[in-house]
Amino acid sequence: MLPTVPLADKHVDEYVVPAGEEAVERLRKAAKPFAGATMLHLNSTAYGGGVAELLQSQLPLLNDLGIQATWALLEGSDEYYAVTKTVHNALQGAEVPWTEEMRGAYWDRIRANAAELTEGYDYVFVHDPQPAALLNVLEEEGRRTGQWIWRCHIDLSTPFRPVWEFFEPIVNRYDAAIFTMENFAQPGVTDPTLAFIPPSIDPCSSKNLEIADATIADVLQTYGIDPDRPIVVQVSRFDPWKDPLGVIDAFRLARKEFPGIQLILAGSMAHDDPEGMRFLDLTEEHRAGDPDIHLLTNVHNVGNLEINAFQRASSVVIQKSIREGFGLVVAEGMWKDKPVIGGNVGGIRLQIIDGQTGFLVDSVEGCAERIVQLLQDPELGRTIGQAAREFVRDRFLTLRELEDYLGLMTSLR
């Protein structure tokens, strides 16, 4: 059996206050026909990325609703994760090497993992490219059971064609494919039922719960951050698509107008991202020893509580991505009543209505200008932050995404 991730004990009733009683009742009604059904979710890491965060929140709630949900992990290798990171970049548009050896390394690990997938399930959700080809192997061996759904969390609108041509027939074996946005789906995905379901945040997680001012102050003191000077924060993996170097450049431009500001770049190092440490080093080099630019990761014991505190202490939240499937941290900042400046790309556009629930930017200079504007006009930041929170409440909380999943499952019956 593939290794499984222990699930927390969570209850749908806990969401009545943040999400509303009507949302809770709708979810209960949607789940009722699936009581006793078995469900497997497969991905490549238990921590360090948005998919892991989603599964940590959602699967315990499915269990509370009477669905027997299991979370299993693909077992990789250094070579395999190097290949799948290349695939991730390619599917977001980067031109990469794509050799027979790389394809062979991918298939070797897929076949090894398929051999460990010995149990059958009513519904199997496969997240992103890493485990996608498991279905091929099970079908070839006559071991397929249940409905299979591929959940693509990345922007697939302009993939590097040689890599996508490898994955297209793999994806077309699925019963359904879920994309964050309609324009993320490739025209060649014709066989599965298509669904367009944005991700969501968990308002009851330790990253999003209200915390005391004293706790925020303690966290800032621990990491040497001055609570009396404005704070700008970006939370993300250290990845070129998240553009931390561009964030530093925008911060330095804004600091010419506001000399006292501080920048926090915080994120987790995921074990399925072999490029993360190298790009963290590049970001550290770009920081050039600046004491007002703080680079913090889980290596520095930064976890959900600390991220929550950084976001709540900030004057401005940034997610200056140059490609983005969704960007959970955008909704997290919005949920905390913060004005968010986001890259004008992908799923960020679903969350930020420019000038109303945040600001969209296309350049370093544009990002700097919005930072300065928000620091000069705190009332504007408060107005946008309040609108942003209500927008997230209506569209981007966990219960809505689960309801959408159950609606798709209903359509497959």
Per residue in 34-83, pLDDT (tens digit) is 999 999 999 998 876 789 999 999 999 999 999 999 999 999 999 999 99
The rounded percent of the chain whose pLDDT value lies above 70 is 98
Q: Return the H-helix or E-strand segment holding 297.
A: strand 293-297
pLDDT of residue 279: 84
- CATH 3.40.50.2000 residue ranges for the chain: 12-200+397-412, 213-395
CB atoms within 10 A of CB 102: 20
pLDDT band (50, 70, 90) for residue 146? very high
What pTM, to 2 d.p., does this model score?
Answer: 0.92
Span 95-114, average pLDDT: 97
How far is the C-alpha of 283 from the C-alpha of 266, rounded, in Å? 11
pLDDT grade for 237, boundaries at 50, 70 and 90:
confident
Q: Are 305 and 206 in contact (CB under 8 A)?
A: yes
Among 3.40.50.1000, 2.30.110.10, 3.30.1330.10, 3.40.50.2000, what is the CATH number of 213-395?
3.40.50.2000
Q: What order of strands is seen across the sheet that includes strand 262-267?
A: 293-297, 262-267, 231-235, 316-319, 340-343, 359-361
| pLDDT at residue 138 in the model | 97
CATH 2.60.40.10 assigned to 12-200+397-412: no
